[in-house]
Amino acid sequence: MLGKSAVILVIVAIAAIALNLTFAHTLHFEPLGLLGFGLFCLGYAGIIPLLSRRTEKESVSLQSAQKTFTGPSIIAGQAVVSRRPTNRSDRPCHALTIDLEDYFHTEVASQGVSFSDWEHQPSRIEPSTHRLLDLLDSNHTKATFFVLGWVARRYPRLVREIHQRGHEIGCHSLNHQLVHRMSPNQFHESTATAKDLIESVIQEPIFGYRAPCFSITPGCEWAFDTLAQLGFSYDSSVHPVNHPTYGNPKAPRSAYPVAHGQLMEFPIATWRVAGRNLSVGGGAYLRLLPFQYIQRGLEAWEKDMQSPAMLYLHPWEIDPYQPHIPLSFQSTVRQTWGTTMMEDKLQRLLNQFHFAPVRDAHKGMLEGKGYTSRQSTFQLDQAVAQVAG
């Protein structure tokens, strides 16, 4: 199986290089990048699924995690399906998460917009988030919104509205700094500030955290201890794939305890194909690749895994009217391509699969150790003083 994949990938690579050498002098863009992207889509959408008829069963650490966290899972007894359900009510429950940030907050956009320019950048977060909220309402679906501290400070009414409309609120850092670029002290200080800021806005403690760009990578495990110290119950910052800027392909694919059992890690959903993890967690993978790729990946997850899949996206991903940011071709693809189709794809996803906020999808695991009733570090007076300051 792996041999066939390797042969196909070598042929594809040779074809891309040959075409690039042929057309590089006549075109004014990066043909290799464009071809590579097209072939990447082709590979994901067609070739790899054909080779993966028999997706490998994972012997993940879920069993040990479930032994440690004895609470009953909300999907207990439902996760393994023997047929392909066509209606979302027949399916197990997965976790849907939104990283609440504007289009210029992304790591890709930082190549064209610096942090000092954020204040002056035209914002799109309110209309995009309202469209997303309306779409979720019309599908009777709640989600978890991991809120950027900068957004909570600038748009407190928007964050309160999300909370009042029944969605779970979590933290997506203070200023979108990557964890692996910070010292433990910097991470502790900025995360504590963001948590207090967000809690002061919604007047409730929060329990979930997601690092920008899934940046709790190998070597940054100290961040889990910090999150536990700050009163978080769970994290969703591990993406168990090979990726040039993030990812930990050796991490478990499903929920596992970290920080000496004080914190649960809920990794982004992956599809095991030919011995490798492919992301089917949403975001750019949903936006740029054919819908059937995510659909088949989630079906494989439901067949083989015993826990909810973790999906994510951003409000700017359903916004085709993002103001222009000067970026390289590759970065432009990652930042803007597929935004026209994203809302339709999300609707199809909501039609076919069953989603809930993390706190509900993983209710059993979070309640197993009394996490949701644990004393919070929330200090209202302190948080209000920070917002006022």
Binding site for Zn ion (CB under 5 A): 99, 101, 212
Q: Least distance in Å: CB of 115 to Zn ion?
A: 14
* 212 versus 267: smaller Cβ distance to Zn ion: 212
* 99 versus 168: smaller Cβ distance to Zn ion: 99
* 29 versus 115: smaller Cβ distance to Zn ion: 115
* 101 versus 199: smaller Cβ distance to Zn ion: 101
Q: Least distance in Å: CB of 370 to Zn ion?
A: 30
* 5 versus 177: smaller Cβ distance to Zn ion: 177
* 75 versus 227: smaller Cβ distance to Zn ion: 227
Please list, in sequence order, all residues whose beta carbon lies within 8 angstroms of the beta carbon of residue 257, skipping any fewer than 6 positions away: 65, 68, 69, 263, 264, 265
Q: Least distance in Å: CB of 101 to Zn ion?
A: 5
Q: Least distance in Å: CB of 173 to Zn ion?
A: 8
Q: Least distance in Å: CB of 98 to Zn ion?
A: 10
Q: Least distance in Å: CB of 213 to Zn ion?
A: 6
Q: Give Cα separations from 372 to 57, 91, 158 (angstroms).
A: 32, 26, 24
